[in-house]
């Protein structure tokens, strides 16, 4: 059962929602893709590192002297927070973008207002043109040709899933204890076969299966859990006529069939004040995946916003963990909806309360409901009241008010920050996870939400 959680006033933008001014240093650092970028960004928030630095109504820019003879050109779009830099980094934002934004937050008077140089104007104009093109009417669709393509893909996926199912059964017949002896090519070849079969979702799951840490204690449980997840998806795909339509949509999405975002935005959404609980970034095959976890203040609904970034392309979305955004979200079709996209952003507002779970029993009950509707589900966010990290049986646990324990994800980077904030006291906490393993992503401290 969910109850109202008093969270105090969260930091918000005092100006237009799309204009990320007045961000604190902590909020800016949440945009960093990893810890090394945070550290490097802090080091570059030093005026001596920058040859030039200035701003206009719509951008920040500067030139940072690197190891080469020519300074790196760094720019930040202030209208719709985005970064670009001439450095070779594959991270987004890179350390130079973070450093420039941090320097502006720390010492705004160092940035004189001036005319944008050509390299900044050109980049901003291209972004504007791209947005305008999205509004242009699309060409008529050749429905017959589209149907032929869909039919051809369906056949490819069916052939691929039949082959993958046999592969899974062979692993079971041989015994999973033989899995550590398999070569990397064993897993990669099947993943590539799934790419050829136009089933990228299955390809990612096969790679994750092969990336199991076979030297970790209890790897058999993690390996079998992933293997059975693949098997359930394959079985569901082969019996789609017996599935509930919403579950059919889940199976299709997990395999790799996409949903038109334009069509999705035509559907009614959920309007709420959404607290951005946290952000996680990961890389897969040269593609950066950003995950934003949100929680609705009034509805108590959880949401996951995904953004996929390719080197050289601008990000379309920048949500700052810890801020509250009033927006309308549209959820992807699912038996247990979680993934969503932002249909429209209305404003940034302050909110005093959020829905929460009283303890682990309530979280289990919610997870059971989710599992009964969607047997194959992944990590979800929960706000749980009054949790305390405790050391028990040679590992860390999260204890609720009823003294119930939940194992903390091993090597969680958040643990030490939580301990330093709590001082041994219980804290209302946001966690992500499922079943028997959860990881903290934020806590309420002195009536303010802080990411960890």
- How many alpha carbons lie under 13 Å from residue 313 in its C-beta half-sphere? 11
| Segment 119-172, tens digit of pLDDT | 999 998 888 888 777 666 666 766 777 778 888 888 999 999 999 999 999 999
Determine the average pLDDT of the residues in 295-320.
82
Closest by Cα among 303, 299, 300, 297 to 352 = 297
Beta strand 339-348 with 353-357 is unpaired
pLDDT above 60: residue 266 = yes
pLDDT above 70: residue 352 = no
| Segment 73-128, tens digit of pLDDT | 999 988 778 889 988 887 778 899 899 999 988 888 889 888 899 999 999 888 88
DSSP states of 224-255: HHHHHHHHHHHHHHHTGGGS-HHHHHHHHHHH
Phi and psi (nearest 5°) for 58?
-125, 0
Compute the CA torsion angle 203, 283, 308, 29 (nearest 10 deg): 160
pLDDT above 70: residue 16 = no
Which of 381-385, 408-412, 430-434 comes out lowest in average pLDDT?
A: 408-412
Express as a percent the part of the chain with pLDDT over 70.
Answer: 90
CB 324 within 8 Å of CB 275: yes
The predicted structure's pLDDT at residue 22: 63
Beta strand 353-357 with 2-6 is antiparallel
Ranges assigned E (strand) in 7-88:
50-55, 59-64, 72-77, 82-85
pLDDT above 90: residue 7 = no
CB 297 within 8 Å of CB 275: yes
The predicted structure's pLDDT at residue 137: 64
For the chain, the domains span 2-9+259-353, 31-134, 148-255, 354-451
pLDDT above 70: residue 214 = yes
Express as a percent the part of the chain with pLDDT over 90.
Answer: 46
Residue 206 CA, chain-centre distance (Å), reads 21
CB 31 within 8 Å of CB 98: yes
pLDDT above 60: residue 218 = yes
Contacts of 141 (CB under 8 A, 6+ apart): none
370: three-class secondary structure by DSSP: helix
DSSP states of 405-435: EEEBPTT-TTHHHHHHHHTT--EEEEEEEET
The predicted structure's pLDDT at residue 3: 47
- How many alpha carbons lie under 13 Å from residue 99 in its C-beta half-sphere? 26
Q: Look over the chain and give the mean of its residue pLDDT values, rounded to a whole number.
A: 85
Q: How far is 160 from 158, CA to CA, in rounded Å?
A: 5
The predicted structure's pLDDT at residue 351: 61
Q: How far is 430 from 385, CA to CA, in rounded Å?
A: 9
Contacts of 142 (CB under 8 A, 6+ apart): none
Phi and psi (nearest 5°) for 9?
-95, 130
The predicted structure's pLDDT at residue 13: 33
Which of 198-202, 244-248, 262-266, 313-317 comes out lowest in average pLDDT?
A: 313-317
CB 428 within 8 Å of CB 445: no
pTM across the whole model: 0.70
DSSP states of 160-222: HHHHHHHHHHHHHHH-GGGGGGS-HHHHHHHHHHHHHTT-HHHHHHHHHHHT--TTSTTHHHH
pLDDT above 90: residue 393 = no
Under the banding of pLDDT at 50, 70 and 90, the label for residue 349 is low
Q: How far is 58 from 37, CA to CA, in rounded Å?
A: 25
Cα distances (Å, whole numbers) of residue 427 to 152, 276, 357, 408, 440: 54, 18, 13, 15, 11
Classify residue 332 by its DSSP letter: P
The predicted structure's pLDDT at residue 12: 31
pLDDT above 70: residue 313 = no
Closest by Cα among 2, 17, 1 to 273 = 17
Domain 2-9+259-353 has CATH 2.40.50: yes
103: three-class secondary structure by DSSP: helix
């Amino acid at each position: 059962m969910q109850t109202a959680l008093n969270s105090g006033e969260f930091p918000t933008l005092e100006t237009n929602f799309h204009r990320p001014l007045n961000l604190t240093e902590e909020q800016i650092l949440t945009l960093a893709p990893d810890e090394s970028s945070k550290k490097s960004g802090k080091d570059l928030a030093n005026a001596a590192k920058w040859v030039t630095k200035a701003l206009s109504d719509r951008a920040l820019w500067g030139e940072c002297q690197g190891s080469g003879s020519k300074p790196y050109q760094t720019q930040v779009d202030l209208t719709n927070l985005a970064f670009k830099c001439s450095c070779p980094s594959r991270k987004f934002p890179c350390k130079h973008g973070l450093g420039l934004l941090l320097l502006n937050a720390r010492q705004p008077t160092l940035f004189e207002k001036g005319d944008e140089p050509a390299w900044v104007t050109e980049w901003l104009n291209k972004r504007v043109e791209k947005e305008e093109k999205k509004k242009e009417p699309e060409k008529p669709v050749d429905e017959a040709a589209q149907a032929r393509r869909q039919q051809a893909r369906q056949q490819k996926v069916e052939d691929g899933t039949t082959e993958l199912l046999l592969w899974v059964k062979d692993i079971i017949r041989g015994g999973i204890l033989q899995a550590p002896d398999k070569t990397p090519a064993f897993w990669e070849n099947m993943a590539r076969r799934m790419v050829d079969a136009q089933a990228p979702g299955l390809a990612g799951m096969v790679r994750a299966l092969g990336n199991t840490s076979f030297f970790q204690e209890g790897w058999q449980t993690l390996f079998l859990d992933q293997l059975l997840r693949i098997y359930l998806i394959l079985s569901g795909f082969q019996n789609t006529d017996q599935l509930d339509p919403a579950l059919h949509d889940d199976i299709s999405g997990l395999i790799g069939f996409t949903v038109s975002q334009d069509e999705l935005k035509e559907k009614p959404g959920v309007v709420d004040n959404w607290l951005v609980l946290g952000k996680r970034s990961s890389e897969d095959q040269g593609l950066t995946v950003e995950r934003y976890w949100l929680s609705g203040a009034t509805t108590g609904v959880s949401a996951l916003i995904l953004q996929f970034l390719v080197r050289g392309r601008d990000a379309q979305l920048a949500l700052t963990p810890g801020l509250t955004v009033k927006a309308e979200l549209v959820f992807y079709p699912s038996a247990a909806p979680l993934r969503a996209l932002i249909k429209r952003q209305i404003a940034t507002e302050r909110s005093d309360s959020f829905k929460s779970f009283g303890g682990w029993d309530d979280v289990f009950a919610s997870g059971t409901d989710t599992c009964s509707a969607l047997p194959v589900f992944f990590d979800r966010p929960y706000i749980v009241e009054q949790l305390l990290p405790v050391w028990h049986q040679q590992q860390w646990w999260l204890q609720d008010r009823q003294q119930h324990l939940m194992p903390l994800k091993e090597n969680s980077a958040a643990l030490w920050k939580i301990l330093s904030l709590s001082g041994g006291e219980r804290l209302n906490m946001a966690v992500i996870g499922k079943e028997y393993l959860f990881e903290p992503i934020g806590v309420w401290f002195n009536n303010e939400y802080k990411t960890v």
